[in-house]
Amino acid sequence: MIYLYEAPCDPKVISQKITGPRLDLTHPRLGNFTDYSIEESVNEQIKHLVHQTIESQSYGQDEDPVMITGRYKVNLNTRYLLSLSQEFFFHKPDIEQAESQLKSITFDLNTGEKLKISKLLSTEKALEEIFQSFFLLKEKKHFDEDGDYYISFNTLVLFLKGKEVYIPLSKLRKWISLHSPLQRLLVNS
- Residues 100-119 have a mean pLDDT of 91
Indicate the helix (H) or strand (E) that contains 16: strand 12-20
Q: Residues 91, 16, 79, CA angle at the centre, nearest 5°?
A: 120
List the domain range (segments joined by +) for residue 134: 116-189
CB neighbours of 183 closer than 8 A, spacing ≥ 6?
2, 176, 177
Residue 96 shares a structural domain with residue 129:
no
Is residue 154 within 8 A of residue 168, CB to CB? The reply is yes
Q: What pLDDT digit, counting tens, does each position of 11-51 carry?
A: 899 999 999 888 899 999 999 888 899 999 999 999 999 99
**DSSP three-state, residue 138:** helix
For residue 88, what pLDDT is reported?
Answer: 93
Residue 6 shares a structural domain with residue 92:
yes
For residue 60, what pLDDT is reported?
Answer: 63
Q: With 50 as the cut, is the pLDDT of residue 1 above it?
A: no
Residue 108 shares a structural domain with residue 124:
no
Residue 22 shares a structural domain with residue 97:
yes
pTM score: 0.84
Q: What pLDDT digit, counting tens, does each position of 131-186 carry?
A: 888 776 666 666 766 778 999 988 999 887 778 889 899 899 999 988 888 887 88
Residue 78 shares a structural domain with residue 129:
no
